[in-house]
Structure 1
Amino acid sequence: MNEQLHTFMVTVAIGAGLGILYDFYRVGKRAHRLRNLLTAAGDLLYWLVATAAVFFTLLYCNWGELRLYVFLGLASGAFLYFRFLSLYLVRGLIFIGRICRRILQYVTAIIYYFAIRPVFWIFNFVGYPFRLVHRGARRWRRSRRPPPSKS
């Protein structure tokens, strides 16, 4: 009986953990706007990870025995998570994603203005005499062309 209670509590935890993993996947899918094929691949990957997690946990806890209380534990863990914690985790993940996006925008702007733009300025400065020579050569070549014949 003690082993069954332990396995039930572990399956409740695994059910809640799979709910957390699903919320991470759901927020990531929404943030990256995955299309049909990538959504199907992501769903398949989620279910493969979920199946492996349940399988190895059950193998470790009770030698892989499937009983009714295992399914009840998984379902009740997922239900409790989605009922009481999912909303807060999703909001937190969206908030953290927005902060990360802003930080990435600032870092990208800093790299652009302090690393990439000066390189363009240097190339423009170094290349200016060559552009002047090229422009003058083009003008000289145009002026040296024979006039079109009137035939």
Structure 2
Amino acid sequence: MTLSVQFLTMISMTAGGFYLGMILDTYRRLSIHWKSSPFMKYFMEIIFWLTQTMVLYYVLFRVNSGELRFYVFLACLLGFSMYQGLAANVYKAFLEHMIRVVTAMYRFCKRTVQVLVITPVLSLVRFTITIAAFILHVLITLLHWLFKIIYIPCFWFFRLVFRMLPSSFQVNLHKVAGFYSKIENTCRKRIKELLSKRR
């Protein structure tokens, strides 16, 4: 490697160490959300370090075609130490501020969606169901009254006609009605027997 490439490698790896310190603090701050699950804790830890290793190696590859030298690790450690000594407290305070801002924005958006979208839609659905139930109740009531208006006169009319019929004809009608009633009862009994046998 030429001196210029070595210099760029040192600068890049120092910046990479600085970046690693920042991203590590960010990860540690956010890891409280999955610390309760041991599986998620180890899984996220592995994913984090694999990802950061690939990022740093990609930077190294862009600078010196991926050649690993001892001073590369020293430069990375130097950048990490510089972050811890110079910028860790400032960055952590900034990170907490950004988390509060993002949380407030999320709550505001959630509340806005709740007020402008979800609540009106739910109110509209409830109103529609109430109107539909009221209309159904009115229709059932009307049908009930219509049935009474039609059924009662017809009932008394046919009853009057039945009484005007000869006695022998009335007896025959009773016999026919009894016959059909027996057929109906027999059919129901057979169906119940068949169903009980299948069980």
For the pair 1:101 / 2:103, whether they are aligned, the reply is: yes
Counterpart of 2:125? 123
- Distance in 1 between residues matched to 2:43 and 2:102, nearest whole Å: 25
Counterpart of 1:16? 18
Indicate how the Cα distance of structure 1 residues 59 and 121 shifts in structure 2: closer, same or farther if over 3 A, else same.
closer
Indicate how the Cα distance of structure 1 residues 119 and 83 shifts in structure 2: closer, same or farther if over 3 A, else same.
same
Q: Which runs of 5+ in 2 are unaligned?
A: 142-199
**Displacement of 1:60 after TM fit?**
3.0
- Higher-Rg structure is 2
TM-score normalized by the length of structure 1: 0.74
Whether contact under 8 Å (2:17, 2:78) holds in the other structure is: yes
Q: Which runs of 5+ in 1 are unaligned?
A: 138-151
Write out aligned runs for 1:1-150 (5 A).
Answer: 1-30=3-32, 32-34=33-35, 35-129=37-131, 130=133, 133=137
**Displacement of 1:80 after TM fit?**
0.6
C-alpha root-mean-square deviation of aligned residues, in Å? 2.5
User: Could you give the per-residue CA deviations for residues 30-79 of structure 1, whole angstroms, max 9, x where no partner exists?
Assistant: 3x344322221221122112221232333333343332211110111111
**Displacement of 1:81 after TM fit?**
0.7
Indicate how the Cα distance of structure 1 residues 122 and 73 shifts in structure 2: closer, same or farther if over 3 A, else same.
same
TM-score normalized by the length of structure 2: 0.58
Percent of aligned positions with the same letter in both sequences?
24
- Distance in 1 between residues matched to 2:93 and 2:129, nearest whole Å: 51
Higher helix share: 2
Higher relative contact order, chain-length normalized (CA < 8 Å, sep 6+): 1
Whether contact under 8 Å (2:22, 2:88) holds in the other structure is: yes
AA paired with 1:75? Answer: L
AA paired with 1:65? Answer: E
User: Could you give the per-residue CA deviations for residues 94-137 of structure 1, whole angstroms, max 9, x where no partner exists?
Assistant: 2111122122212212221222222222222232251683xx99
Whether contact under 8 Å (2:34, 2:40) holds in the other structure is: no
- Distance in 2 between residues matched to 1:3 and 1:116, nearest whole Å: 58
